[in-house]
């Protein structure tokens, strides 16, 4: 149940540090992979689930603590958790009768990096239109 079909999202990590999204045009394959992760974040229920999981002291949460926090059926919550897991944002483990989820910070770190523009960016202020070429 653990490493089922986690999104790949490029094994860069090696070649420097993340192409960036804000620094160079994304190619088609990259954009498809990245979009899967952002799509997983593009739902209020999943965002709340993720934040509940991520902010939990101890690092993990039992599903039985998540489900009653929403006015949704148990299958629906289970489905959302599955999507977050398939996006590589969380992982889970069964312990006895209960299933525990935890954050995979590698993925949120990667996203944060992708959305961060290079430090020295000369602020494309507009109105100053650098007019390159």
Partner DNA sequence: GACCTGTATCGATGTCCTTCAATTCAAGGT
Partner DNA sequence: ACCTTGAATTGAAGGACATCGATACAGGTC
Indicate the residue among 81 and 89 with the shorter CB distance to DNA.
Answer: 81
Q: Strand, helix or coil at 19?
A: coil
The interface partner of residue 34, options being DNA, its own copies, none and the CB cut-off 5 to 8 Å by kind, is its own copies
**Is 65 a binder of its own copies (CB under 8 A)?**
no
CA distances from 5 to 55, 83, 85, 89 (A): 24, 10, 8, 12
Cα–Cα dist 123/133, whole Å = 18
Q: How far is the CB of 122 from DNA (least distance, A)?
A: 25
**Is 30 a binder of DNA (CB under 7 A)?**
no
Q: Encode 37-67: b = buried (16+ Cβ within 10 Å), e = exposed.
A: beebeeeeebeebbeebbebeeebbebeebb
**Is 62 a binder of DNA (CB under 7 A)?**
yes
Query: Which part of the chain contacts its own copies (CB under 8 A), choosing from 4-12, 18-26, 77-85?
Result: 18-26
Contacting positions for its own copies (CB under 8 A): 20-26, 28, 31-32, 34-36, 38-48, 50-52, 54-55, 57-60, 102-103, 105, 108-109, 111-113, 115-117, 121, 123-126, 129-133
């Amino acid at each position: 149940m653990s490493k089922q079909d986690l999104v790949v999202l490029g094994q860069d990590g090696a070649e420097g540090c993340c192409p960036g999204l804000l620094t160079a045009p994304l190619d088609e394959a990259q954009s498809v992979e990245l979009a899967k992760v952002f799509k997983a974040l593009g739902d209020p229920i999943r965002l709340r689930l993720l934040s509940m999981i991520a902010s939990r002291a101890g690092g993990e949460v039992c599903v039985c603590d998540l489900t009653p926090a929403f006015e949704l059926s148990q299958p629906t919550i289970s489905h959302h958790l599955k999507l977050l897991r398939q996006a590589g944002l969380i992982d889970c483990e069964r312990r006895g009768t209960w299933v525990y989820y935890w954050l995979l910070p590698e993925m949120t770190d990667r996203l944060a990096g992708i959305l961060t523009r290079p430090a020295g960016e000369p602020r494309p202020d507009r109105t100053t239109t650098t007019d390159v070429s």
